[in-house]
Structure 1
């Protein structure tokens, strides 16, 4: 039995004043939408990584997910920690991104759009997580996502 390489990642749930969620479109693995973020660099902690990733691609930890999946053509075991970030859409300028990491598009999604889309969105359960945040605030402990 082989053990997959570990890939630690920091991701952000980015909300605007209208409670819309920013997602980025990737073409790999048959295409999907995902929250901004990426892998930690050597010696980096999650908070530093998410700040760096937001700057490169376009809080408080609110959720965690462990998932085996392909990245760059190789299978990895990824541990993600999610952070809540609130911004105005005008504060982001994807055209100034320094590392686009195969990002093809960005879009602000309403909760209704997240709940009804037939497109693949990661993490699964994102709409429920955001709805919970808006209703109950930041959880005392990170929510474990599947």
Structure 2
């Protein structure tokens, strides 16, 4: 029996923090409902920074000039279905700082089945029974807010 590796799908994701160190997550109804960081796949010729800025503009109406891009914090690989086709998605997570006032979903151009957006405190992230991706996000945000930014991207499950 032979198994083949699914095609690679590279994605840039933003761990978007405001001045109060709240993290912005997007709510989705599919797969039983979950919350996830903004972001999406790279388009042809795009690097991770460009994809991330494009995605926060498309999903949240954020002007790229209002965003402060920080380091890559983490990476995650996962096989899953996209448009009915199995892919191996490799996601790179970057720290982005933005004012909560600069987020305006009414300016979003591609809502991608987003039900809602919400700013979460660390306490709320730790206390929720809802599904939040990536697993380990709360610990990562705590480390960043305490000034313990990883020197190399950590691997998330």
Where in structure 1 do 4 or more consecutive aligned residues deviate above 6 Å?
none
- Rounded to whole Å, the distance in 1 between the matches of 2:25 and 2:113 is 13
Aligned length: 146
The equivalent position to 1:79 in structure 2, one of 61, 65, 90, is 90
- Rounded to whole Å, the distance in 2 between the matches of 1:120 and 1:70 is 18
Change (3 A) 1:29 1:71: farther
Q: Once the 2 structures are TM-superposed, how far is the Cα of residue 92 of structure 1 from its aligned partner?
A: 0.8
SS in 2 for 1:136: coil
Change (3 A) 1:128 1:139: same
Q: Does 1:130 align with 2:141?
A: yes
Q: TM-score, normalised by structure 2?
A: 0.88
Q: Does 1:114 align with 2:125?
A: yes
The runs of 5 or more residues in structure 2 that have no matched partner are: 61-68
The runs of 5 or more residues in structure 1 that have no matched partner are: none
Q: Could you tell me whether the CA contact under 8 Å between 1:29 and 1:70 is conserved in 2?
A: no
Change (3 A) 1:21 1:108: same
- Rounded to whole Å, the distance in 2 between the matches of 1:76 and 1:23 is 23
The equivalent position to 1:97 in structure 2, one of 108, 111, 119, is 108
- Rounded to whole Å, the distance in 1 between the matches of 2:16 and 2:115 is 18
What residue in structure 1 maps to residue 36 of structure 2? 34
Larger Rg: 2
Q: Once the 2 structures are TM-superposed, how far is the Cα of residue 12 of structure 1 from its aligned partner?
A: 0.3
1:80-118 per-residue CA deviation (whole Å, 9 max, x = no partner) reads 001111111111100110111111100000111111111
SS in 1 for 2:30: coil
What residue in structure 1 maps to residue 46 of structure 2? 44
Q: TM-score, normalised by structure 1?
A: 0.94
Q: Once the 2 structures are TM-superposed, how far is the Cα of residue 73 of structure 1 from its aligned partner?
A: 3.2
